[in-house]
Amino acid sequence: MSGLTAQVERLLLTLTWKLRVLSDAQAAVLLGVPGRRRRTAVRQLQRLQQRGLVARCRITLMEVCLQEPLVTWKPGTDQANWGRLAWDLEKRRAFGAPKTITVNWATRDAARLVGGVGGRLRQPLQVEHDWGTAAVFLRRDHRRSAGPRWIGEDAYRRHFLHGSRAKVPDAVLLNRRNQIVRAIEYGGLYTSGHLKSFHRYWSRRKVPYEIW
C-alpha cells in the first residue's frame, strides 16, 4: 500500500481504527523493533510525519503500571464496589510517575489512505487517558489475529453507529456480525457515580466489560 511495509501499514491501521495515540515506545512494539533499537522505530515515525501520515509532539503524562483489569464483569456476576474503585483510580494516578514522552497520532491523510479516523491531538489530560488505553491494548490484544476485533471509540462511533447517540467506551470487541461482545474502558479520574452509570449501561445490554 503506497510503498508501506506490512508493519507500518499495521501501525497506521492501529492509529486510525483502534487507538488515538501511541508513544514512540508503544509504536516500536507494533513495528516489531526491539527496545535497544528504539531509534529505528523513531526514524520510521519521523518518515511518516514527513509524508503527512503521522503527527508527533512531546508531552508530560502520569505513567501508571497496568497488569490486569481492575474489574471484569459478565452477566450473572455481582457489580464492583464503585466507591472503592473510584478511590483506587484516584490513588493510582496520584502515585504515578510523571514522564515526558513523544506521542504519535494519525492525520486525516492517514485515514484517507487506510480508513478509520484521523485528526488532531486532544487536551493533555485526554491524551494521558488515550495513552493508558494504548497500554491496555498492548497488554491485552495486539497480537490476536483471530477472534473479536478491537475497535476504538472514534472509529466505532463514526463507522458503526451511523449518527446514533449510544454510549461508547474506550474500545469495543466486535464479533464477525459487528456485535459488541465486550466493552473496554481505561479508568481515569472517575466518580463512583460515573462508574456505576457505566455498569448500568452495559449490564442492561448484557455486554461483558473490563475496566483497567
- pLDDT per position as a tens digit, 54-105: 999 999 999 998 999 999 999 999 999 999 999 999 999 999 999 999 999 9
Residue 207 inside a domain? The answer is: yes
Residue 1 inside a domain? The answer is: no
Instruction: Give the number of domains in the chain.
Output: 1
Look at residue 123 in the predicted model and tell me its pLDDT: 72
- Cell 457515580 maps to which residue? 193
Range of the domain at 14: 6-211
Secondary structure letter of residue 48 according to DSSP: H
Residue 201 inside a domain? The answer is: yes
**How far, CA to CA in Å, does 192 sit from each of 91, 125, 143?**
14, 19, 33
pTM, entire model: 0.92
Residue 194 inside a domain? The answer is: yes
Amino acid at 183: A
